[in-house]
Amino acid sequence: MTVLDLEHLSSIELPTADEEIWRYSRIGDLDLSSYHPVDVTPVLAGPTDHVEVGGAPIDLFPDDIPDVFARINLGSASQVRVVVPRNTVVPEPIVITHTVPADGALVCPRLVIEAGENSEATVVERFVSAADGSSLVLPVLQAAVGAAARVSYLAVNELSEQAWSLGNQQAVGQRDSQTLLATVALGGDYARVSTNARVSGRGASTRQVALYFAGGTQMHDFRTTQDHDAPNTNSDLLFKGAVQDEAWSVYTGLIKIREHADGTAAYQTNRNLTLSDGAWAESVPNLDIRTNDVKCSHASTVGPIDEDQRFYLESRGIRPDVAERLVVLGFFDEVLAQLPANDLAVGLRERVAAKLNIGSDHDEAGQ
């Protein structure tokens, strides 16, 4: 992979929305020259015996072609490496928190997870802003999951609404491995995550879940690939999002089943709620199936809150604004229940509820 020269950010050629993978995006609004690289030391919590901070950036998958932002990351990465030896179980989640400065900071967190055969670990990565103000975060996750290993990863975006985040995630699971990639996205002005989850060994499985909620003029953008590169593999995806005010969301997903991946089962579901007339959501599921011996399905929906659910609650004396919040929180509970590190789910549910209150306040102010 070619490492880019970050001393001349303005000379780096960026993609455009004319490219299919960037369709519907706001990439044309990005001005790299308005940012400057900043080193941020992450804060660790939980078991740290298998964690190394710093060192030369490691590229676990050099043959894969990443986008330009992954290449920028490799040139200016603040790396955390988690190495779990074979037959080792890490008993509690490892929590990594990146606090991003404002005032035009460019931050490139890089997380490398190497899980040995029959190992188990949960890693939570939090992205928070030190203050309001512009910043650009280019995180990269690379996870190599060994035979029969179990890895759960959760990314939590709590950035300010002036921050941009353009993330790349790559995971490869070997025989009989289990990989969970979870995302909760509440912050950011424009927040994008591109995920390639590949199962490369017989019997391997991967699961992707996400909760995203955008308000104001935020935009959340997800591009996922479920790549089956071995027979008798499984993948499942559940993404649920809500948009209010003038916010946007985009989901584009691909199930890719190669010629030799017989006996595969793959499922993809994306559900979106539009809570305001000015909010907009796009959902584009795709299939690329090159063998007949598979079980495969995809589903997507975009629409307002079910009026029957709202009526049921209001008919029992619940105020309309409270009824809407209850419906939205119930909508997200299916994802919250699948997140690793369950103790975090309570706090995240409260963050969603708080965002609903903000949206309600905005609506009332505009009346």
- Say what the pTM is: 0.93
365: pLDDT strictly greater than 50: no
Can you give the pLDDT at residue 6? 65
Closest alpha carbon to 162 in 81, 242, 225, 103: 103
Greater confidence (6 vs 157) lies with 157
> CB–CB of 314/323 below 8 Å?
yes
Q: Which residues pair with 264 in a beta bridge?
A: 294
The DSSP line for 245-302 is TT-EEEEEEEEEE-TT-TTEEEEEEEEEEE-STT-EEEEEEEEEE--SSEEEEEEEEE
> CB–CB of 14/27 below 8 Å?
yes
Of 182-191, 216-225, 342-351, which range is least confident? Answer: 342-351
* pLDDT digit string, tens, across residues 132-152: 999 999 999 999 999 999 999
End-to-end CA distance of the chain: 53
Classify residue 58 by burial, with Cβ atoms within 10 Å: 0-12, 13-18, 19+.
middle
3: pLDDT strictly greater than 90: no
313: pLDDT strictly greater than 80: no
- Judged by DSSP in three states, 167 sits in strand
366: pLDDT strictly greater than 90: no
How many CB atoms neighbour CB 93 within 10 A? 21
* pLDDT digit string, tens, across residues 253-262: 999 999 999 9
Of 52-66, 100-114, 136-150, which range is least confident? Answer: 52-66
Greater confidence (4 vs 112) lies with 112
- Furthest-apart CA atoms within the chain: distance in Å: 62
